């Protein structure tokens, strides 16, 4: 049954972009877990909590993306090797300074934002408002989180220059 009213073949480009977004989120999630486990120094308490909040948010979004692919009557990527092959995000080194962790996280956000915009473009071409709505909400959220991380980073660097 075609309960969506969109031909399954028209959704293939949307699913492809959603799977890339899923791969990006999986690698991003693992980077955040690593940062959460390895953070040290005077910003430990603050960043330990921030990374935990970010990876918990990513975990929810990973599930929502995969379930959206299933809703579109396709299958989500689900192997680590596939995630690593299809992700625009690379695994980060574990033992890096706190400011480097934030820099990498913001770089990851930039790639996720680009992937989200590709999903929205593909969904728009297919007439898939459900995907546009879901990813549009994700986009607004990650843009706000990016602003906050960048503000934290800017404050830290401004203090160092004084």
Q: In this predicted model, what pLDDT tens digit does every residue of 49-104 receive, in sequence order?
A: 999 999 999 999 999 999 999 999 999 999 999 999 999 999 998 889 999 999 99
Q: How does pLDDT run across 113-133, given as a tens digit for each residue?
A: 999 999 999 999 999 999 999
As a whole number of angstroms, the distance between CA 12 and CA 34 comes to: 33
**In this structure, how many other beta carbons lie within 10 angstroms of the beta carbon of residue 146?**
17
As a whole number of angstroms, the distance between CA 122 and CA 129 comes to: 11
| Angle CA 67–71–121, to nearest 5 | 90
Whole-number average pLDDT of the chain: 94
> Three-state DSSP class for 134?
helix
Contact between residue 126 and residue 6 where contact means Cβ atoms under 8 Å apart = yes
The structural domains of the chain, ordered by start, are 8-161 (1.20.1260.10)
């Amino acid at each position: 049954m075609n309960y969506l009213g969109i031909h399954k073949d028209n959704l293939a480009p949307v699913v492809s972009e959603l799977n890339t977004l899923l791969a990006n989120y999986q690698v991003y999630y693992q980077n955040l877990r690593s940062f959460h486990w390895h953070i040290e120094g005077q910003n430990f308490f603050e960043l330990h909590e921030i990374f935990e909040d970010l990876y918990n948010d990513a975990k929810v979004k990973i599930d929502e993306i995969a379930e959206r692919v299933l809703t579109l009557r396709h299958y989500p990527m689900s192997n680590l090797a596939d995630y690593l092959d299809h992700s625009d995000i690379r695994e980060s080194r574990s033992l890096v300074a706190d400011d480097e962790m934030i820099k990498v996280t913001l770089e990851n956000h930039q790639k996720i934002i680009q992937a989200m915009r590709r999903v929205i473009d593909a969904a728009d071409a297919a007439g898939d408002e459900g995907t546009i709505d879901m990813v549009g909400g994700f986009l607004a959220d990650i843009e706000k989180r990016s602003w906050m991380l960048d503000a934290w980073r800017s404050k830290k660097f401004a203090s160092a220059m004084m």
